[in-house]
């Protein structure tokens, strides 16, 4: 029964993401083998930017289980252009569970949840070309358990978004 519920939840969440992706410029999700994220295995996302007149919002997406051990996740990211020049980098953190109630954040069924957080708002790429976003967990554990996938979504910024 639990397997059946998990399969239905997976199908419904994928239908939700497919139906909500019309305005996305780029999307990629990486399934983590063994449902853990090794501290020595950053996830890399390669994408092309053609229109440098447009500002972009970059989001991180996560699929996690309610067995995730911590309230939030700490990450480092580096945004590089083709020639490996760093354009942006930072240490950031995002909550997976409500601070007061402890309930999982995001959408989900059963014990699997999906959540999306804005990483960069209104980013202005200086030149067209290939870019790489490298993201790595920055937690105490070398193996961060119960993370099923990590991904990015790039969308055109709304007209009132500030450029970076």
Q: Residue 53 has what pLDDT?
A: 94
Looking at the domain assignment, is residue 162 inside a domain?
no
Task: Report how many domains make up the chain.
Answer: 1
Q: Is the pLDDT of residue 74 over 50?
A: yes
Q: Can you give the residue range of the structural domain that contains 84?
A: 2-156
Looking at the domain assignment, is residue 135 inside a domain?
yes
Looking at the domain assignment, is residue 161 inside a domain?
no
Q: What are 150-162's pLDDT values in tens digits?
A: 999 999 998 764 5
Looking at the domain assignment, is residue 164 inside a domain?
no
Q: Residue 4 has what pLDDT?
A: 55
Q: What is the pTM of this model?
A: 0.82
**Going along the chain, which residue ranges are E strands?**
24-31, 36-38, 43-49, 55-65, 72-81, 86-95, 107-109, 112-124, 129-137, 143-145, 147-156
- CATH number of 66's domain: 2.60.120.380
Half-sphere exposure of 161 (CA within 13 A, CB side): 18
Looking at the domain assignment, is residue 163 inside a domain?
no
Q: Residue 7 has what pLDDT?
A: 56
Q: What is the mean pLDDT of residues 118-130?
A: 94
């Amino acid at each position: 029964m639990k397997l059946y519920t998990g399969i239905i939840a997976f199908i419904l969440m994928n239908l939700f993401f497919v139906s909500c992706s019309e305005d996305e410029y780029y999307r990629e999700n990486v399934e983590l083998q063994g449902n853990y994220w090794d501290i020595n295995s950053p996830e890399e996302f390669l994408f092309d930017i053609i229109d440098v007149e447009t500002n972009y919002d970059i989001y991180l997406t996560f699929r996690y289980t309610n067995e995730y051990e911590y309230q939030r996740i700490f990450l480092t990211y580096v945004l590089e252009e083709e020639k490996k020049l760093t354009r942006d980098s930072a240490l950031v953190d995002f909550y997976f569970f409500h601070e007061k109630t402890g309930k999982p954040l995001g959408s989900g069924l059963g014990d699997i949840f999906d959540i999306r957080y804005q990483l960069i708002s209104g980013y202005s790429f200086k030149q067209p070309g290939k870019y790489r976003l490298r993201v790595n967990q920055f937690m105490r554990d070398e193996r961060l358990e119960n993370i099923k996938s990590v991904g990015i979504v790039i969308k055109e910024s709304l007209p009132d978004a500030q450029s970076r």
